[in-house]
Amino acid sequence: MLGLNKKDGTLLLIVIGLTLFAPFLLNPFPVESELAQFNAGYPDLMQRFVIFGIFAIGFNILFGLTGYLSFGHAAFLGAGSYAGVWMMKLLSMNVIPAIVAAVIVAGLFSVLIGYISLRRSGIYFSILTLAFAQMSFALAYSVLTPITGGETGLQLSLDDPRILTGGAEGGNLPVPSLFGLEMRDSFDLVLGSWLFTFNVGYYVCAIIMIAAFYLAIRIFRSPFGMMLRAVKSNQQRMSYTGLNSRPYTLAAFVISGMYAGLAGGLMVSMDPLAGAERMQWTASGEVVLMTILGGAGTLIGPVLGAGFIKYFENIFSKINDQILHGWFAFLPDGLENAMVALVHPFIGKGWHLTLGILFMLVVIFLPGGLVEGGQRVGRFAFRRRNKKAEGAEAEGAAKQPAE
């Protein structure tokens, strides 16, 4: 199917299924129930899942395949955001030009930074990308204020020209749309005590993410992808065989920069506001966290990691002591209070602590991320089932290359 083998085809179908039915899957609890706070099926969060999914998929094409650890990828996301908002200010509120411009600007920007940074590898590459991103952040924050809006960020305003559609009619700011379909439009489906929200913006993002994911599969399986893997496993040997690795790494860098720009463009299409803090190195660190947590170098890992982090960022931080007391209510009073006190630092505002610990555990014990964890569990179950039937043969099957 579409030039994919059976395994990849299934993976793609699973991802398509998951993203298209996400409004159902993420809202498993009835509205009135106590567990409703764990529902993640509201448009804002769902959009963030897929947008950061795209960002992480792109980052993974660089880091997962070539092993070049960029600590400045947020710069491209930021550049894409600014380009997107400018398109909305100058042309029209249609999201298509905004997204296209975001990808192109981020691509050009990453050609420039990649060309210079890729002259070094290893830690020097990380520092160079970090330095460029911090420079972009500092400039966007101060000198480039006429272009970037500085501290307040770049916003739409009523007197923007918007030459394709004319200025704003009435006194309201126009909203981003796709040929008349407003991004914020939602359709609520009530089924018994369940409520499912279908949001236009989410589906635009979801379809683009599926396309981006498909492209990533093709890149992973292409001869070009093999070359990138060769860079990771042994760059020296690659150059001894007469291959120049620079064009390949640069291409990977630009592709992943364009993915980041795409994510930035989508971000402003959902909410037309771009701020400089999107370029800060903590934002770059976040996408590194997502990719590693999910599993660098695997196809589905970054998407899982992005979803995981965004879900827990929003849901974990909502849990408070009262809810905890509810959970541990079955324990005797003293023990209940002790348990609440024990868990308290890790929830609510302490979510970053949980994330940090989790991230360290993953790097230490599961270098393959959540995907490797899942594989290990699967292998364990698989082996036990097969042991009875086939005995030693299961060993061979279990040693399939991790993907």
Partner 1 sequence: MDQIILQILNGLDKGSAYALIALGLTLIFGTLGVVNFAHGALFMLGAFCAVTVQRLLTLSHEVVDPERTDFLGNPLKVDVPYVMDIFGESTGAAIIDWSVPLAILFAIPVMILIGVVMERGLIKHFYKRPHADQILVTFGLAIVLQEIIKYFYGANPIQTPAPEAFRGSLDFGVWLGFEANQIIYPYWRLVYFLFAAIIIAGVFAFLQFTTFGMVVRAGMADRETVGLLGIDIDKRFTMMFGIAAAVAGLAGVMYGPINAPNYHMGMDFLVLSFVVVVVGGMGSLPGAVAAGFLLGILESFASMSAVIDLIPGINQIIIYLVAIVILLTRPRGLMGRKGVMED
**Interacting residues with partner 1 (CB under 8 A):** 67, 69, 116, 119-124, 126-128, 130-132, 134-135, 138-139, 141-144, 281-282, 285, 288, 292, 345, 350, 352-353, 355-357, 359-360, 363-364, 367
9 vs 350, beta carbon nearer partner 1: 350
Nearer to partner 1, 172 or 244 (CB): 244
Nearer to partner 1, 94 or 298 (CB): 298
H/E stretch holding 198 = strand 194-199
In our burial notation (b when 16+ CB lie closer than 10 A, e otherwise), range 90-113 reads ebbbbbebbbbbbbebbbbbbbeb
Residue whose CB is less far from partner 1, 119 or 318: 119
CB of 315 to partner 1, least distance (A): 18
In angstroms, give the least distance from the CB of 246 to partner 1: 13
85 vs 130 by CB, closer to partner 1: 130
CB of 208 to partner 1, least distance (A): 29
Burial grade of 282 (CB within 10 A; 0-12, 13-18, 19 or more): exposed
Q: Which helix (H) or strand (E) holds 104?
A: helix 95-117
- As a whole number of angstroms, the distance between CA 319 and CA 341 comes to 13
Smallest distance from partner 1 to CB 49, Å = 22
222 CB contacts (<8 Å, ≥6 apart)? none
**Nearest distance from C-beta of residue 18 to partner 1, angstroms:** 27
Residue with tokens 């903590």: 282
Q: Are 210 and 126 in contact (CB under 8 A)?
A: no
Angle, helices 281-294 vs 122-141, to 10°: value is 140
- Residue with tokens 């905004």, as numbered in its chain: 98
Instruction: List beta partners, residue 189.
Output: 196
User: Given the complex with partner 1, which of 104 and 138 has the nearer CB atom?
Assistant: 138
Closest listed residue to residue 293, CA positions, set 106, 73, 52: 52
State the nearest-atom distance from the C-beta of 396 to partner 1, in Å: 28
